Amino acid sequence: MTHVKICGFQKSEHVLTAIEAGVDSIGLVFVEGTNRTLNLREAENLLGDIKGSSKRVPEIVGLFADQPFDAVNEYIEKLKLDAVQLCASESMEYCSKIKSPIYKVISIDPLVPISAQMPRIMLLQQRHSLAGHRIVIDTKMPGAYGGTGTSFDWDVAADLSKSFVMTLAGGLSPQNVGQAIDQVRPWGVDTSSGVETQGQKDHEKIATFISQVKGKDSDKKSKGPFRLFRRN
């Protein structure tokens, strides 16, 4: 089954829509100066609302970018985060100091020839995979840490997916996530702006995105043993 993560929630009502639709992970942004960021108190209130309203609480992932590791660990402890997503240039040494499972973003710049980026991408994928980190392949845009709605060449992602378990991010929406799954065959998919309208999470888009992924998984199951024994 394809793992579904949606990031950038700011209101519990949107999280509850995602939970009802079957989301696996929700991402809360703690990167200062970004559009979807939450402070500690806001996050505590949101998580309190979720836990008081839903019998099922998905994996809670905190998003950070080159922030002091002790500050990240403080958020982990106070919010009881299940994992963190590190979105910038965090080193292996930095990662070793984080007290939770890690999703590590490896970025692809759509303006730079992929041949010039591939040695860096492959090295990072190997290092982080061996360390037990989950890999997220996302689009790099100047001054941003994801959530830009910009995609990159999925043929590149498909090649990477053959060698590493990875989550695909960058420009995914209800309209294209099915195609992305067919083409890339990722372990997971991740979106933020793709389920928004005018910068705000959209209940219908959230539910449709998740249903598109679940529907694609059902299609794969129905196509017999050849599909069933391939890695999702």
Residues forming the active site: 7, 138
CA 178, CA 173: separation in Å to the nearest integer? 9
| Amino acid in the structure at residue 207 | A
Q: Is 30 helix (H, G, I), strand (E, B) or coil?
A: coil
Using CB atoms within 10 A of its CB, is residue 80 exposed (0-12), middle (13-18) or buried (19+)?
exposed
| Amino acid in the structure at residue 112 | V
List Cα–Cα distances, 169 to 34, 94, 146, 184, in angstroms.
Answer: 18, 23, 8, 11
Dihedral of alpha carbons 41, 133, 173, 150, sign: positive
Q: In sequence order, what E strands does the chain have?
A: 3-7, 25-29, 59-64, 83-86, 102-108, 134-139, 166-168, 188-191, 196-197, 200-201
User: Which token pair is 173?
Assistant: 């929406």
